[in-house]
């Protein structure tokens, strides 16, 4: 059965309401995130002809509010230089490239992945450019590609480019095996290697480093700024599979310096489905907006599907906050997410539960809404079990002891395949949170839930394939197993 036949057979895809998905086929990494003339551009790794990873295109969508997306024709397609792997985009405001006749335009950077031997593991990766003179509606590949040729090893990909004001140069971060190389340019076309970071730093597995993003972030409540280097760690057989770590330090236009001990591992998300994180360029001010692919390479190709596979997380805002351990990234759902939900949700306050009692948080019966957003302030005297899906496939357990709150997430799943059955279930716990009151915010959509704990100190992003066949998402049930619970600001969907 062809992909088109499958789509016709299953009818309308059972899609999440507020998480971006491809029209059909396969989607993974977000690419080329850029804001230009009132439009947010989202490009993404895309294979339109099947629901498993294949020859990579750049799909394309635009939005004015980050929540409602219009799909445009594919921006980039494979050619004789290879597939079009992940990358980034910038606004060339002053025509540094000379490609825009003195005007401004969009330039995207991507990795050309070319098979050169009989095996799929025999490949070359090089950095290339495409540009648009019409607000991203059409793209022309640069005649001088590649702008950076292969350095002699295979894994050399995912260029992220930004303007470094202090040193008056464009900077490109590129993943190279298990390190990140930094290049400099004054015209976006000619690049010089400046430095390399990664040896002995953070977490290393048998998987390559991928999808780097280097971002300046002010520390909240201070006049200090740090540079945050976000790095994806590719698929491995460890419990996390593919995951995203970050480093906090300084960047002088040439070299990134990690301010934490080299063996410190900072996880950007404590769930299993938050990968290839990228931020939007072209924004004014210090706001950091980012989005991630909501999946994991251990089971991404085995997930149940309806003629499409892959979704993005909700847009996030990252800030740096000072902690006893040093500056750390704090998550929040983008303001646009809250504005969207505030039009549809109402607030309740002052709910008390005792041991053995439970509360059902769900959309009203026969509601057309297929998402739920919940914000809780918990004052807990014992143990709380929070069933995020009706079948108990995804459960948060929150306990309070002398050390503070302990949050554990458990996920099970239906039997699909040997690889999926082995890697999809998970059970993990956050470090103890020493607070009297714990804040938890959950946005639940069809097939996914995103949970921010302690005002975004921790993020848990998790697919929920138990709801993939459900028309209306399962109710969310809070049950006090021991002690007592007091909740404020319970938000649920209107009818």
Identify the sign of the CA torsion 165, 169, 175, 178.
negative
| Peptide bond just before 251 cis, omega within 30 deg | no
Known catalytic membership, residue 29? yes
For residue 351, the tally of other CB atoms under 10 A from its CB is: 15
Tell me, rounded to whole angstroms, the distance of Cα 296 from its chain centroid. 11
Catalytic residue among 5, 29, 92, 273: 29
- Cα gap 449→29, rounded to integer Å: 19
Sheet strand arrangement including 308-309 = 70-76, 57-63, 39-47, 25-36, 308-309
DSSP secondary structure letters along 20-62: ---SSEEEEEEEEEEEETTEEEEEEEEETT-SS--S-EEEEEE
Q: Break the chain down into helix, strand, coil percent, rounded to 5.
A: 5, 50, 45
Q: With the C-alpha atoms ordered 12, 13, 16, 21, is the resulting torsion angle positive or negative? A: negative
How many alpha carbons lie under 13 Å from residue 174 in its C-beta half-sphere? 32
Angle at 66 between CA 51 and CA 55, to 5 degrees: 25
CA distance 78 to 56: 7
274 Rama class: left (phi>0) / alpha (psi -120 to 50) / beta: beta
Q: What is the distance between the alpha carbons of residues 261 and 247, in angstroms, rounded to a whole number? A: 10
How many Cβ atoms are within 10 Å of 9's Cβ, its own excluded? 10
Could you tell me which residues come within 8 angstroms of residue 58 by beta carbon, excluding any fewer than 6 positions away?
31, 32, 43, 44, 45, 46, 74, 75, 76, 77, 84, 108, 110
Q: Which residues are part of the catalytic machinery?
A: 29
């Amino acid at each position: 059965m062809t992909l088109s036949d499958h789509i016709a057979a299953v009818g309308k895809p059972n899609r999440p309401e507020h998480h971006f998905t491809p029209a059909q086929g396969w989607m993974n990494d977000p690419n080329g995130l850029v804001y230009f003339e009132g439009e947010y551009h989202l490009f993404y790794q895309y294979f339109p002809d099947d629901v498993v990873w294949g020859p990579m295109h750049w799909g394309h969508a635009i939005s004015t509010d980050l929540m409602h997306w219009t799909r445009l024709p594919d921006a980039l397609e494979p050619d004789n230089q290879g597939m079009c792997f992940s990358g980034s985009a910038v606004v060339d405001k002053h025509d540094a490239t000379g490609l825009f006749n003195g005007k401004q335009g969009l330039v995207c950077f991507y990795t050309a992945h070319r098979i050169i031997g009989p095996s799929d593991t025999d490949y070359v990766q090089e950095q290339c450019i495409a540009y648009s003179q019409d607000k991203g509606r059409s793209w022309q590949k640069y005649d001088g590609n590649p702008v950076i040729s292969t350095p002699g090893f295979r894994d050399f990909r995912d260029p992220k480019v930004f303007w470094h004001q202090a040193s008056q140069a464009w900077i490109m971060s590129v993943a190279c095996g298990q390190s990140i190389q930094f290049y400099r340019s004054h015209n976006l076309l000619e690049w010089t290697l400046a430095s390399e970071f990664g040896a002995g730093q953070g977490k290393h597995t048998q998987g390559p480093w991928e999808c780097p993003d280097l971002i300046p972030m002010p520390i909240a409540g201070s006049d200090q700024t740090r540079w945050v280097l976000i790095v994806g760690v590719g698929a491995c057989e460890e419990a996390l599979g593919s995951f995203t770590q970050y480093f906090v330090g300084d960047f002088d236009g040439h070299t990134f310096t990690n301010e934490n001990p080299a063996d410190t591992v900072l996880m950007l998300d404590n769930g299993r489905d938050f990968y290839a994180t990228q931020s939007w360029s072209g924004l004014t001010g210090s706001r950091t907006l980012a989005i991630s692919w909501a999946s994991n390479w251990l089971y991404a190709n085995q997930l149940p599907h309806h003629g499409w596979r892959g979704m993005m997380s909700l847009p996030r805002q990252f800030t740096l906050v000072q902690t006893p351990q040093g500056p750390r990234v704090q998550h929040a759902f983008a303001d646009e997410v809250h504005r969207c939900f505030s039009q549809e949700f109402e607030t309740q306050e002052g709910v008390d539960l005792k041991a053995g009692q439970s509360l059902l948080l769900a959309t009203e019966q026969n509601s057309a809404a297929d998402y739920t957003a919940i914000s809780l302030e918990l004052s807990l005297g014992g143990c709380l079990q929070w069933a995020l899906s009706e079948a108990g496939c995804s459960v948060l357990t929150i306990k309070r002891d002398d050390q503070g709150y302990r949050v554990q997430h458990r996920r099970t799943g239906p039997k699909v395949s040997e690889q999926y059955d082995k890697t999809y279930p998970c059970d993990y716990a956050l470090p103890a949170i020493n607070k009297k009151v714990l804040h938890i915010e959950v946005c639940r959509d069809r097939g996914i839930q995103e949970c921010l704990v302690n005002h975004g100190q921790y993020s848990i992003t998790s697919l929920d394939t138990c709801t993939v066949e459900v028309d209306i998402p399962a109710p969310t049930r809070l049950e006090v197993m021991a002690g007592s619970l007091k909740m404020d600001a319970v938000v649920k969907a209107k009818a």
